[in-house]
A = this chain, B = another copy of it.
């Protein structure tokens, strides 16, 4: 039995019956995204995930990427797995068809990406970063760069990176200092140091295309003076073959808590005469371009939360069925039982399972909105979906990754003492998960984006419209013949009330008391994540009950779906009340404390 098996049943149920494939296969170009096609894609991806990537997860953690004299060696098997992955075409499913990609919708790429993250998070980061670099170059060009770099990046022959962070510039990119000096031939010479560069150096491919934020000489201070450059590891001749080594080197890689197989590089650009760089898009618009890509990247990282949680859950579940310990409470005369029979262990497993299913459905629904925002025929519809995407991304990113950590930690707890032993494997998931609330914007950054740009500035319009949509839905739950579904409806209604009051509070206070809104922002993010996740599970339960009523589908799966949603409604949704209280009544007691009083 593989350590990770893609949860195909749940993925398929969410795609077909909760999100609905019609959200994307009614859009131009995606008419052939049918149920059969989706099933075939997921099944194939699931095989690669279980059979090729997952078995490398633990060895990659133990061996880690190694640095010597500027050269990075990835753990045994990773390079071969990368080529197998690219040869099967998985790296280009989202890429533009113009350059050899498959141009599939995000909705389909999303469950596939979840599988890579669950099977081997450290591996998955390389294609994910490459995808971001491809998007940046293909969106803002110019054509000369597209032609020079994209074919090899889309085929997987070369990889890409994102070089944002510098020692003094992390969450605050206005502090970027890397310099770009224009040359007579229209290129630039790049000089500076970048840190935390995922796959900044590796041995998978012959070349790496770094996308680098830098300031052109004389550019304005702050975020408005940052431009985006493509800086290849090896210069590329006009015919596409490799030329001389560029003035870029990997000075070291970090010793990290987790994702050991993924090299996190310190990159030195222009230690000698400057690294040759090519401007991507217009000067001084680099940050804006980065943020265009950021939506997809943040959704990807949110999915990592779902993915690691799923893997941690599978391991804990398997252990809980094997490990015999203690008598099941309330069963007279019983002897030792598998620990899954103990109510508290069952509660932990249900917490894991229900949270994963809620996060998964919300992430998939969000990715469908991303597709619609790009491809819907109607302009109003595109704008509506874009507003939803903008609102949902920080929630999916922040909430799913925070949950990912909690679920991975619960996975250790289910194992008891064995969970603390590295050989068991449960601990790696917590170590790996721990970065996800930090990279691509911390939870605090997501929360500020949410309460500021996504709620405050528009007085909660998108949020309130979405909550109103849920209110239109809850009467269906109340009218259900299934007692579980009815109960779910009650909890969801209460959660939506808390969510609405909190959004309204933000709308009232954002312009007059932004610090107070900021102080409670992470609570708001969690409150909305829990509520929207609850909505997704309520839709799941309602659909499942309807299918059962029509004697359709897999009855065992559908019944479990309803019970899982009911658990979530009883155990997770009630947290919204205390989160609302902390978000709206709590800020003053944060702001009252002076720095010196700590």
Contacts and interface: CB of A to CB of B under 8 A. Distances in A.
B420 A258 contact: yes
A434 B417 contact: no
A245 interface: no
Contacts of A413: 437-438, 442-444
A2 B416 CA distance: 34
Nearest to A586: B570
A521 interface: yes
Contact of A326 (B172, B514, B593): B172
Given A444-B342, A447-B344, A567-B590, A172 B257 contact: no
A182 interface: no
A325 B172 contact: yes
Interface stretch (A117-125, A212-220, A463-471, A575-583): A575-583
A597 B559 contact: yes
A444 B344 contact: yes
A40 interface: no
Protomer copies: 2
B346 A255 contact: no
Contacts of A9: none
Given A413-B442, A519-B343, A571-B582, A593 B350 contact: yes
A591 B567 CA distance: 10
Interface in A423-479: 423, 427, 430-431, 434-435, 437-439, 442-444, 447-448
A516 B577 CA distance: 23
Q: Which of A350, A437, A516, A571 has the most CB of B within 10 A?
A: A571
Interface string A507-529: 00000011110111110000000
Given A347-B519, A522-B347, A420 B257 contact: yes
A100 interface: no
A104 interface: no
A437 to B, nearest CB: 6
Interface residues of A, number: 98
A239 interface: no
Interface stretch (A145-153, A185-193, A333-341): A333-341
A241 interface: no
A244 interface: no
Contacts of A409: 405, 434
Contacts of A171: 325-326, 416
A256 interface: yes
Contact of A577 (B423, B567, B578): B578
A567 B350 CA distance: 32
Contact of A430 (B196, B341, B434, B559): B434
A141 interface: no
B344 A593 contact: no
A257 B563 contact: no
A336 B570 contact: no
Given A256-B421, A421-B255, A577-B577, A566 B589 contact: yes
A381 interface: no
A317 interface: yes
B405 A417 contact: no
Nearest to A575: B578
B574 A344 contact: no
Given A417-B196, A570-B585, A577-B577, A590 B341 contact: no
Contact of A254 (B175, B346, B347, B421): B421
Given A344-B444, A345-B444, A518-B343, A592 B575 contact: no
Given A423-B255, A514-B329, A522-B344, A168 B324 contact: yes
A385 to B, nearest CB: 29
A581 B409 CA distance: 23
A556 B590 CA distance: 17
A419 interface: yes
Nearest to A572: B582
A377 B125 CA distance: 66
Nearest to A258: B420
A346 B570 contact: no
A530 to B, nearest CB: 10
A342 to B, nearest CB: 7
Contacts of A330: 513-515, 518
Contacts of A519: 343-344, 346-347
Interface in A310-360: 317, 321, 324-326, 329-330, 336, 338, 340-350, 353
Given A329-B515, A344-B519, A417 B350 contact: no
30 contacts: A195-B417, A254-B421, A255-B422, A256-B420, A256-B421, A257-B412, A317-B598, A329-B515, A342-B444, A343-B516, A343-B590, A343-B591, A344-B522, A346-B519, A347-B590, A353-B598, A409-B434, A412-B438, A413-B444, A416-B438, A430-B434, A556-B596, A563-B592, A563-B593, A564-B593, A566-B592, A570-B586, A571-B589, A574-B577, A574-B582
Interface of A: 165, 168-172, 175, 195-196, 254-258, 317, 321, 324-326, 329-330, 336, 338, 340-350, 353, 405, 409, 412-413, 416-417, 419-423, 427, 430-431, 434-435, 437-439, 442-444, 447-448, 513-516, 518-522, 556, 559-560, 563-564, 566-567, 569-571, 574-578, 581-582, 585-593, 595-598
